[in-house]
Amino acid sequence: MIKWRRWLHIPSGCRDRGGMELFYAGTVLIAFLIVGLVIDAGLALDRMSDADYVAQEAARAGAQQIDPGQAITGEDIVVDPDAAQTAARAFLDSEGVDGDVAVAEDGQSLTVTVRDAYHPYFASLIGVSEMSVTGHGTATLLHQPGG
């Protein structure tokens, strides 16, 4: 044992106290949390994108419900408000999300707002149990009578 101490030039009074091991353990824990938060942020953005997609599709489904009485006579092509809201809500229900449906006063557009929640994996370690997610979608009728 004495031979390797002389070769490495380690004084006999020096002892390894393990101080660096605690530093590395703390660094690894902090790095793990940072990577986890980045993963949670990416998954939350993905959930927001999904909410926007569902809102847009619900708006399209509702905007396809035109008022046949005005369209057949050639008066105007507008959304039937009741049928549009029913179709949009049915789409939201099929996707399992909650939202609001609004038809513009002129009947030319329909707006859907979707509310959902993302339950993070890693952020829950620091007390964040839920992140609210909102998506928006609008569909506008572009066809004009006689055109």
Contact 77, 141 (CB under 8 A): yes
Q: What is the pLDDT of residue 11?
A: 59
- Express each pLDDT in 14-65 by its tens digit: 565 556 677 888 899 899 989 999 999 999 999 999 999 999 999 999 888 8
Contact 80, 105 (CB under 8 A): no
Q: What is the pLDDT of residue 104?
A: 86
What is the mean pLDDT of the segment spanning 136-141? 90
Q: Residue holding tokens 């396809």?
A: 64
Q: How confident is the model at residue 123 (pLDDT cuts 50, 70, 90)?
A: confident
Q: What is the pLDDT of residue 5?
A: 46
Q: How confident is the model at residue 71 (pLDDT cuts 50, 70, 90)?
A: low
For residues 89 and 4, give the distance between their C-alpha atoms in angstroms, rounded to a whole number. Answer: 78
Q: What is the pLDDT of residue 75?
A: 66
For residues 145 and 11, give the distance between their C-alpha atoms in angstroms, rounded to a whole number. Answer: 96
Q: Is the pTM for the entire model greater than 0.75?
A: no
Which residues are 138's β-sheet partners? Answer: 111
